[in-house]
Chains A and B, each alone.
Chain A
Amino acid sequence: MDKLLKLLCEDARLPVETLATMTGDTPEGVAEKMQKMENDGTILGYRAVVDWDKADREMVESYIDLKIAPKKDFGFDEFAELVSQMPEVKSCTLMSGGSDISLVVEGRSFKDIALFVGRRLAPMESVISTATRFVLKTYKKQGHVVSATNTDYREMDI
C-alpha cells in the first residue's frame, strides 16, 4: 500500500509536516497528494474510531443481508446506490455467497432498526428477503482491539 495512505489509515490526525518527514517527502508534496486523493475519491473521509460502549450515546449496530431480484434497468448497482442514500445505512456492499447486498445499519435501539427494515427495506420491490443480525459486543474495530490495554511487557534496557 502507498506509504502515505497507510499512515493516514492508522492516524489521520498526523500533521502534514510529520507525514512528510515520515515518508521522506516535502509538506507541499504530501498536501498535494492528499488533495488529489480527496478529489478523485480515493480518500472518502476522515473519521474517529469510537467504542460506543464508552461514549454517552445509545447506539445499536446491525448487519442486514439482503437477497435481491435484479430487474431490467434496475440491477444490483442501481439498488445499492438507492439504499446507500438512506442515512441509517453506514455501509453497503455487494457480496458473494448466500446474500447479495450486505448493509451495516445504525439506530438508537433494536426497535428503530426493526422498523427501518420493516418499513423501508422489506417493502422495496427488488427485495426478496432480509436477515438482520444485531451486534452484541465489539472486540476489534477497524484494526483497533477494543479492550487492548497496550501493556509494555519489556523489562530489559540493553
Chain B
Amino acid sequence: MEYKRLMSSQLQEIKPSGIRKYFSLAEEMGDCLSLGVGEPDFVTPWEVRRAGIESLDQGKTFYSANAGLRELRRQISLYLERAFSLRYDPDTETVVTVGGSEAIDMAMRTLLNPGDEVLLPTPCFVCYEPIAKMCGAKVTPLILKEENEFKLTAEELRKAITERTKILVLPFPSNPTGAVMGRSDLEQIAEVLKGTDIFVISDEIYSELTYGGDRHVSPASISDDMWARTVTVNGFSKSFAMTGWRLGYVCAPAPVTEQIVKMHQFAIMCAPTTAQYAGIVALRDCEDVVATMRDEYDIRRRFIVDGFNRIGLHCFEPRGAFYVFPSVESTGLTEEEFCEQLIRKKRVAVIPGTAFGPGGEGHVRVSYSYSIKHIKEALRRIGEFVNEL
C-alpha cells in the first residue's frame, strides 16, 4: 500500500507537536530531570477516586446520556454559576466531553466552514491550530507580547479581524505563559467583537489556578452579547488533578450545543461513565482540596520565578496555570538551542517557547508541577548551565 499517497493529505501536512522532539531527546539521554510535563503532580483527591471505584462496585458500567449524566451536568451548571457567575442550562446548554480537548475539537467542528479564519493568540496550547486546519480553516496567529503581560489587546484583535473571521480563541489562563485576562481586558475585547459574527472559544481549563487574589473571569460572564457568542470549554484535568480520567465539558447557547451533541454522539457516544460519577463528587465536595493545591502551586510559582530571575533569565510573573515562561535571550542562544544544550549538558528538560507557536520565540516553557526539591535541583543545574555558557 502506498500509505502516504492514500491517506488524508490534509492531516499529513500537519506537523507533529514540537514538544515531542524534546521528550524523545530526554528519554534518549536517560536520567533526565524534567520540568516539561503539563499536568498536575497531585493525585486525584481521595474522595473522587473513591466515587469512581464505588460506581464500578455498584455495577454502573453503562453508557450515560450522550450529553453526560444529568446529575453531573447539574453540578457543572451550579459550579459555573457559583465560581464564575456563568449561567448555563444543564439540559440544553451543557455537554460532558472526553476532556477539554474533545470539547475544543467539537466546538471547532461545529462552528467552522472551509475558508473561515480562526484568530489564535500565540504562544498557546498546541491543539487549536491542527484542529482548525482539519476543518479547512485558515489560522491567523496573534503574537502576544511580554510587554503586555502576554495578554491579547483590543488593538491587536481589531487589526486582525477580516470579514472571514469566524472564531477568536481565548486560551486564558495560558499554557504556556501563565498569563490571565482580567475583567477590564475582556471588556475591551468584548467591545471590539460587538456587532460582529465572531464566536469566541474560551478554553478555561486552568480557571481554578489563578494567583494573587483575583479569581478567573469568564469571557461569557462579561455581557449578554459575549455570552451569546462564546463557547466555554472547561474540564476536570487541571482543577481536580484528573488528567487521566479524561473528563471535560463544553457550555454554549442551545443552538450550538445541539450541534455539538450530534457530533459527540456520532464520534464518541459519551464520556467515560466512571469518570462522570467521580466528577460529580469533585464538583460537589472538593473546593477545599482545590484551594490546597492552588496554595501549593502558588508557593512553587514564587520560588521558581525568583529562581530564574536570580539566574539572570528574566521571568515574567505569571498569574495563572502552572508554568513560567522565562526569556533566554540574555544567553545568546535561541530557545531551541537552549533546550537542546540544557538536556545534553545538564540533563534538564524544558520546552522551547516556539513549540507553542511563533509568539514563543526567545522563551522556554517551564512547568512547576513538581516538588520544591525537584524544582530546586533543576534550578541549580540551569544556573550552572547558564554560568558555563
Which residues of A does B touch, CB under 8 Å? 3, 6-7, 11, 14, 18, 21-24, 152, 154, 156-158
- Decide if A158 touches B295 in the complex (CB within 8 Å): no
- Decide if A157 touches B299 in the complex (CB within 8 Å): no
Of the A-B pairs whose beta carbons lie under 8 Å apart in the complex, a sample of 10, sorted by A's number, is A3-B295, A3-B299, A6-B295, A18-B303, A21-B306, A22-B299, A23-B299, A154-B39, A157-B34, A158-B38
A156 to B19 alpha-carbon distance, docked (Å): 10
User: Which residues of chain B are near A22, meaning CB under 8 Å?
Assistant: 299, 302-303
A105 to B296 alpha-carbon distance, docked (Å): 34
- Decide if A7 touches B299 in the complex (CB within 8 Å): yes
Nearest 8 Cβ contacts at the A-B interface: A157-B23, A157-B36, A21-B306, A22-B299, A154-B37, A158-B38, A157-B19, A22-B302
B41: contacting residue among A14, A24, A154, CB under 8 A: A154
Q: List the B residue with the shortest CB-CB distance to A150.
A: B371
Classify chain B: how many residues form its interface, as a range.
20 to 34
Q: List the B residue with the shortest CB-CB distance to A17.
A: B306
Q: How far is the CB of A101 from chain B (nearest CB, A)?
A: 32
- Decide if A21 touches B126 in the complex (CB within 8 Å): no
- Decide if B37 touches A24 in the complex (CB within 8 Å): no
Q: How far is the CB of A154 from chain B (nearest CB, A)?
A: 5
A24 to B301 alpha-carbon distance, docked (Å): 11
- Decide if A157 touches B38 in the complex (CB within 8 Å): yes
Number of A-B contacts (CB under 8 A): 38
Residue among B17, B22, B303, B349 facing the most chain A CB atoms (10 A cut-off) = B303
Which residues of B does A touch, CB under 8 Å? 17, 19-20, 22-23, 34, 36-39, 41, 125-126, 295, 299, 302-303, 306, 349, 351, 372
User: Which residues of chain A are near B303, meaning CB under 8 Å?
Assistant: 18, 21-22
Known: A21-B303, A157-B351. A152 touches B41 (CB 8 A): yes
Q: List the A residue with the shortest CB-CB distance to B310.
A: A21
User: Which residues of chain A are near B41, meaning CB under 8 Å?
Assistant: 152, 154
Question: 7 more A-B contacts (CB under 8 A) besides A22-B303, A158-B17?
Answer: A3-B295, A7-B299, A18-B303, A157-B20, A157-B22, A157-B349, A158-B125
- Decide if A156 touches B302 in the complex (CB within 8 Å): no
- Decide if A21 touches B19 in the complex (CB within 8 Å): no
- Decide if A156 touches B38 in the complex (CB within 8 Å): yes
A14 to B299 alpha-carbon distance, docked (Å): 13
- Decide if B19 touches A24 in the complex (CB within 8 Å): no
Q: List the A residue with the shortest CB-CB distance to B301.
A: A22
Q: How far is the CB of A14 from chain B (nearest CB, A)?
A: 8
Q: How far is the CB of A13 from chain B (nearest CB, A)?
A: 11
User: Which residues of chain A are near B126, meaning CB under 8 Å?
Assistant: 158
- Decide if B37 touches A156 in the complex (CB within 8 Å): yes
Q: How far is the CB of B237 from chain A (nearest CB, A)?
A: 11
A85 to B221 alpha-carbon distance, docked (Å): 62
User: Which residues of chain A are near B38, meaning CB under 8 Å?
Assistant: 156-158
User: Which residues of chain B are near A157, meaning CB under 8 Å?
Assistant: 19-20, 22-23, 34, 36-38, 349, 351
A154 to B38 alpha-carbon distance, docked (Å): 9
Residue among A7, A23, A154 facing the most chain B CB atoms (10 A cut-off) = A154
Q: List the A residue with the shortest CB-CB distance to B370.
A: A152
User: Which residues of chain A are near B125, meaning CB under 8 Å?
Assistant: 158
A152 to B39 alpha-carbon distance, docked (Å): 11
Q: List the B residue with the shortest CB-CB distance to A152.
A: B41
A138 to B96 alpha-carbon distance, docked (Å): 43
Known: A157-B23, A158-B17. A21 touches B302 (CB 8 A): yes
User: Which residues of chain B are near A21, meaning CB under 8 Å?
Assistant: 302-303, 306
A7 to B22 alpha-carbon distance, docked (Å): 33
User: Which residues of chain B are near A11, meaning CB under 8 Å?
Assistant: 372
User: Which residues of chain A are near B349, meaning CB under 8 Å?
Assistant: 157
Q: How far is the CB of A42 from chain B (nearest CB, A)?
A: 20
